[in-house]
Chain A
Amino acid sequence: MNVNERWIAVLAILVATGCGARETPGRGADSATARTTTTTSSSGDVALPAMASRSAAWLPPGAGNGDWLMPSRDYAGTRYSPLNEIDTTNVAQLQLAWTFDDGESHYGHEMTPLVANNTMYIVSPFPNRAFALDLTKPGAPVKWEYEPNPSPIAIGKACCDAVNRGAALYDGKLIYNLLDDHTVAVDAKTGKELWRTKLTNVEDGTTMTMAPLVVDGKVYVGNSGGEMGVAGWLAALDVNTGKELWRAYSVGPDSLVRIGADFKPFYSWMRGKDLGATTWPANAWKHGAGAVWGWVTYDPDLKQIYYGTSNTGPWNAAQRPGLNLWTSSVFARKADNGMATWAYAMTPHNEWDYDAVNENILVDIPIKGQTRKVMVQFNRNGYAYTIDRTTGEVLVAKPFGHENWSSGIDPTTAMPIVNADKHTVPPGRWVRDICPADVGVKDFEPSAFSPRTGLFYVSVQNICMDYRGREVSYIAGTPYWGADMTRHVGPGGNYGEFIAFDAATGTKVWGIPEPFLTYSGAMATAGDLAFYGTVDGWFRAVNARTGKVLWSRKLGSGIISAPMAFTAPDGHEYIAIAAGVGGGAMTTASQPGFPARGSSYYVFTLGQNIPATAPSSRGGEGGAGKKQGGKP
């Protein structure tokens, strides 16, 4: 049976059983525990109890167990919900509670909905409308809508769809970026704009798509535009006024990069003065990208932020001999003044568009018998890096999917060992079957981590490319790209896979192959579930320990957003996800069966919690007896 046939068989089983094969209840801890909506260390089955009971400093202020105030829920970036009402024994009874549509189906939906104070907050792709939905009322009607009216010029400057990756709730404000390079803060109660800060000119080719991180009164925002010849940066704004406090460039002399006496990279090849300028041909760094369009995480103990930088510009590496620091790198910086403490270039002299912007998840895990404070990044280049987040030392670097551009990471220097036949320099000739393709073994779609299992949950891409470098000139406002390519599916013929990964050893624990790309974020819950979506629109819940699919629903479009869990005013656990394919997933749009775009949000809970579904409901709110147009 080939992969497609196997999947048809699996889908047939799913259809036959209505909502996926329900797993037999597992050990007592799974099935017998009372289902409260809070997590506790009640189960003896927790792999990392210290991680599970981390202090409140790892969460945005005021976040309860049933809240979700930032896209990754916590500052560590785990996307772990402590809710456990929905678990491996009952997830098969998940039903649709309500839906919402933001009306912006032209562009991909990469965000995570947020919930606080019985309100759900949603930010649409361009034109970046914000909606507050009142969870206390049936069907969660719109409480307010905010229209920022960004410049449409931005649409054509965004390389890869006019997306937005979400907002942050902090101190009664909803804070997010507009595609046209403004950051806005909106009163979370009223939807009134509190401040709007212009970060740069959209006409130069810069856009903003990332979700801000807000910590200790500072809003951290970065730019997109790695294909437009920008110089990447991360800026810190005052949360009360929007005033810019500092900006740290990813390229250029140390003064621009905010490198000073505190900067101590672990590896000697990254030590020296002004390397962000001197590892380039003269002035090439000015258009060298290193955009900051991914995720920022924060360690409240070390008081450091962590983030990665984008691809090197232009893609045609022949035009920029040198290591091209600090593109395709990660930075650790002091959260207060932005001064760098260490950096590490994952793909120096990047010839393949392997950005390093993916999430850096901050966990404390035992490695060779000793608990280490690490950050884990599943990089586009196909390596999962487990790095000491205090020193920048690479502890583990192993492939987590199919790659063939390198034969490993040198254990002494932590530099990749590039396979000679995958160099794209000199340009002007086709280099065949480079794996992964530009979009990577994983793109921005964020992974999750469960302290209960000690595992990471990752959407993996199995995609390769034929690539030809092209000479390109810098012309402001136009792409500074310099490549031509076609993409194809990798070995096995499945574009996607959802895996569980042990970052302490660099090993895959289990995997679920998917015929279509997996380009959604992941979520792990205290119910020992992991959730993910596929580009053909399947939203699935799996046993986080075994990888067995317990529940699946086909949504209206492909899923490239990330799921979240919250407690509704009824006291029950709900799961939300958006379905609106777009972004980098469109690289596989020619695959037969690829869905149309969409803009709907789906909210699920156990069927017994839904009045219209529960057998005991008789003419209650939202039931069949409701008068059309009347108030409930």
Chain B
Amino acid sequence: MTLTERRSRIAALVATGGMVIALGACHQDKQVVRGGSQGDVTLPQQQARVANATDTTGLPAEGALARVAIGDLAGVGNNTLDADVANPYANDRASVEVGHEYFINMNCASCHGYDLKGGMGPDLTDTYWRYGGSPADIYKSIFEGRPQGMPAWGRALPPAVIWKLVSYIQSKGGTYPGSLADRGRQGDLGDNTDTTSFSTLKGRNNVH
């Protein structure tokens, strides 16, 4: 597959996300290259970029996601606000597959590994999450980026695609449901029976 074909493929993938896409001509990111006597030269990076999609039918409202905090909540003691926002595409095989394709094509795999076991970026299959491991937490990490080099994809990818990326990551078993977000943040996932993801995490002294 040539690069041009590849870009077309990426565009097609975005379209399969069911979104209204305004795929303009290649986005012209400017990278200034200073070149001695030649003076300033500008490199167009020819980066395919998708505009914000507007159709979010059936997806969690932005307001609901905004209420999901990264940190614990001041003044609430040992109860953090839960992150119980469900992924509408969870456990949907087709969505997992779309998420998988994006995971490779958006270079997520280059940082987190083709097996999601980590590399430049963290392992996404273990149950340790620096910024939370519920679907809403992961959505926010992809959408907003995170300070140590995780780019923010909220302007490059439509919400439905990000949720499908979350589906793919969920399919690898390291995430936990929003109903357990409190416990996850406190390191108290324990041996809950309502998820198969944490069967190996036993013996923690749960206070809930």
Q: How far is the CB of A198 from chain B (nearest CB, A)?
A: 12
Residue numbers in A under 8 Å from B121 (CB-CB): 156
Q: Which of chain B's residues has its CB closest to A260's CB?
A: B37
> A474–B147 contact, CB under 8 A?
no
For residue B120, CB closer than 8 A to chain A, the reply is: yes
For residue B151, CB closer than 8 A to chain A, the reply is: yes
For residue A619, CB closer than 8 A to chain B, the reply is: no
Q: Which of chain A's residues has its CB closest to B110's CB?
A: A479
From A28-36, A248-256, A354-362, A397-405, give the one contacting chain B.
Answer: A248-256
Set A155, A249, A258, A480: member contacting B149, Cβ < 8 A = A155
> B35–A204 contact, CB under 8 A?
no
The range of chain A's interface size is 35 or more
Q: Which of chain A's residues has its CB closest to B49's CB?
A: A475
Bound Cα distance from A496 to B106, whole angstroms: 36
> B150–A476 contact, CB under 8 A?
no
From B14-22, B40-48, B170-178, B184-192, give the one contacting chain A.
Answer: B40-48
Residue numbers in A under 8 Å from B47 (CB-CB): 474-476
Bound Cα distance from A481 to B108, whole angstroms: 11
> A152–B34 contact, CB under 8 A?
no
> A159–B120 contact, CB under 8 A?
yes
Q: Give residues of chain A (147-182) contacting chain B, Cβ–Cβ below 8 Å.
A: 152-160
Bound Cα distance from A255 to B149, whole angstroms: 33
Residue numbers in A under 8 Å from B46 (CB-CB): 283, 474
> A249–B35 contact, CB under 8 A?
yes
Residue numbers in A under 8 Å from B150 (CB-CB): 156
> B120–A479 contact, CB under 8 A?
yes
For residue A286, CB closer than 8 A to chain B, the reply is: yes
> A479–B107 contact, CB under 8 A?
yes
Residue numbers in B under 8 Å from A204 (CB-CB): 31
Q: How far is the CB of A207 from chain B (nearest CB, A)?
A: 10
Residue numbers in B under 8 Å from A475 (CB-CB): 47, 106-107
Bound Cα distance from A152 to B105, whole angstroms: 25
> B3–A473 contact, CB under 8 A?
yes
Bound Cα distance from A477 to B149, whole angstroms: 8
Residue numbers in B under 8 Å from A60 (CB-CB): none
Q: Give residues of chain A (242-289) contacting chain B, Cβ–Cβ below 8 Å.
A: 244, 246-249, 252, 255-256, 258, 283, 286-287
Residue numbers in A under 8 Å from B207 (CB-CB): none
Chain B, residues 139-166, CB within 8 Å of chain A (1/0): the string is 0000000011111000000000000000
Bound Cα distance from A258 to B43, whole angstroms: 18
Set B31, B36, B45, B120: member contacting A246, Cβ < 8 A = B36
Q: Which of chain B's residues has its CB closest to A255's CB?
A: B38
Residue numbers in A under 8 Å from B29 (CB-CB): 476
Residue numbers in B under 8 Å from A246 (CB-CB): 36
For residue A478, CB closer than 8 A to chain B, the reply is: yes
> A256–B149 contact, CB under 8 A?
no
> B120–A256 contact, CB under 8 A?
no
Bound Cα distance from A319 to B1, whole angstroms: 9
> A248–B36 contact, CB under 8 A?
yes
Q: How far is the CB of B123 from chain A (nearest CB, A)?
A: 13
Q: Which of chain A's residues has its CB closest to B29's CB?
A: A476
Q: Which of chain B's residues has its CB closest to A475's CB?
A: B107
Bound Cα distance from A129 to B10, whole angstroms: 42
Residue numbers in A under 8 Å from B105 (CB-CB): 473
For residue A134, CB closer than 8 A to chain B, the reply is: no
For residue A238, CB closer than 8 A to chain B, the reply is: no
Bound Cα distance from A271 to B168, whole angstroms: 50
Q: Give residues of chain A (441-489) contacting chain B, Cβ–Cβ below 8 Å.
A: 470-482, 484
Bound Cα distance from A477 to B146, whole angstroms: 13
Residue numbers in A under 8 Å from B120 (CB-CB): 156, 158-160, 227, 479
Given contacts A155-B149, A256-B38, A319-B3, contact A481 B33 (CB under 8 A): no
Q: Which of chain A's residues has its CB closest to B121's CB?
A: A156
Bound Cα distance from A476 to B148, whole angstroms: 16
Residue numbers in A under 8 Å from B36 (CB-CB): 246-248, 255-256, 258, 338
Given contacts A247-B36, A283-B46, A473-B10, contact A155 B106 (CB under 8 A): no
Bound Cα distance from A247 to B6, whole angstroms: 33
> A478–B6 contact, CB under 8 A?
no
Interface centre among A227, A319, A473, A479 (most CB of B within 10 A): A473
Given contacts A152-B148, A155-B148, contact A478 B37 (CB under 8 A): no
Chain A, residues 296-325, CB within 8 Å of chain B (1/0): the string is 000000000000000000000001000000
> B147–A152 contact, CB under 8 A?
yes
Q: Which of chain A's residues has its CB closest to B115's CB?
A: A484
> B151–A478 contact, CB under 8 A?
yes
Q: How far is the CB of B18 from chain A (nearest CB, A)?
A: 22
Residue numbers in A under 8 Å from B131 (CB-CB): none
> B35–A255 contact, CB under 8 A?
yes
For residue B111, CB closer than 8 A to chain A, the reply is: yes
7 A-B pairs within 8 Å (CB atoms) are namely: A153-B149, A156-B111, A160-B120, A246-B36, A474-B45, A476-B29, A484-B114
Give the interface of A toward B (CB within 8 A): 152-160, 201, 204, 227, 231, 244, 246-249, 252, 255-256, 258, 283, 286-287, 319, 338, 470-482, 484
Q: Top 4 nearest A-B pairs by Cβ distance?
A: A156-B149, A479-B110, A478-B107, A255-B38
Given contacts A155-B149, A286-B45, 7 further A-B pairs with CB under 8 A are A154-B149, A157-B149, A246-B36, A255-B38, A473-B107, A479-B111, A481-B107
